[in-house]
Homo-oligomer: A and B are copies of this chain.
Amino acid sequence: MFYVIGLGLCDEKDITVRGLEAVKSSTRVYLEAYTSILMVQKERLEEFYGKELILADRDMVEMSSDEILKDADKEDISLLVVGDPFGATTHTDIILRARALKIPTRVVHNASIMNAVGACGLQLYNFGQAVSLVFFTESWKPDSFYDRIKENSDLGMHTLVLLDIKVKEQSEENLIRGRKIYEPPRYMSIPTAVSQLQEVETSRGDGVLSPDKTLAIAMSRVGAHTDGEQRIVCGTLAELGTQDPSVFGEPLHSLVIVGKRLHHLECEFAEEFAVDRKSWRDIARDVYGCTLE
């Protein structure tokens, strides 16, 4: 059996009991090497699971899937992934490959940011499509996410914005010279995200994102179990963009753009986390037409 097991959001104990059983029954256990987006190290996972883990980066999962799948028709083999297995096309690919090889596959689901975002108090059924925001460079500023946010915004829906992470990136020089030397991981901060959003708003000018009238919710380490490690911070884009980055806690960060269908219960829940409660209430009332009782 080939198991694809979601690890959930944070640490070694977020695996489900069923997932843990599958890990223990497996002769080989691969860990998709986005470990830096889990909040713990490989060694801690190994100790808790009582298994050695084989690191598999995305290239390996994509290019060497047959190596991972070897003998999975006779033995249990597990691939561990952060969040839920269906968060990334890479996993769809390897499941398709297993299917082609007639290897039985089982998926063990878990929480991912796509549903845990509900922790900010906004209802999941009020979210439109999610978007990704990548690090801009001097010459590369992809902005199709803006159209998606506009589509959601026109319908009054919230948008989950997933912020870029750069893991296992090579510098241009190392890339050219073929040196497998990797830069330290980089995670987009909330102020950087806000600044990029505002840059695109300025160039596109459709009035989708207003510094002083668009409410947003910054989230970090959703589902973390240590006091104060999970952070939720709400405010206008301008308020969030000018906070000291330490306010938002450690990465990973995500950002939610609040849609106009904001319900007063959503508003009330999030208010607890507002940079400035009065400003949050005033804008919810004046711009969003949402009055707290």
Q: Mark A105-120, 1 if CB is under 8 A from B, else 0.
A: 0111111101110110
How many monomers of this protein are in the complex? Answer: 2
Partner of A14, one of B17, B123, B127: B17
Is the C-beta of A92 less than 8 angstroms from some C-beta in chain B? Answer: yes
Chain B residues within 8 Å of A116, by CB = 84, 86, 109
- The size bracket of the interface on A is 35 or more
Is the beta-carbon distance between A110 and B107 smaller than 8 angstroms?
A: no
Contact B129 A126 (CB under 8 A): yes
- Contact between B115 and A86 (Cβ–Cβ < 8 Å)? yes
Residues of chain B contacted by A225 (CB below 8 angstroms): 18, 106
Q: Is the CB of A9 within 8 A of B109?
A: yes
A16-B17, A109-B9, A269-B92 are contacts. A125–B130 as well, Cβ < 8 Å? Answer: yes
Interface set of A (CB-CB < 8 Å, partner B): 6, 8-9, 12-18, 20-21, 84-87, 89, 92-93, 95-96, 99, 106-112, 114-116, 118-119, 121, 123-132, 151, 155, 157, 222-223, 225, 265, 268-269, 272
Can you name 5 A-B pairs with beta carbons within 8 Å?
A: A6-B111, A15-B17, A84-B118, A87-B115, A92-B121
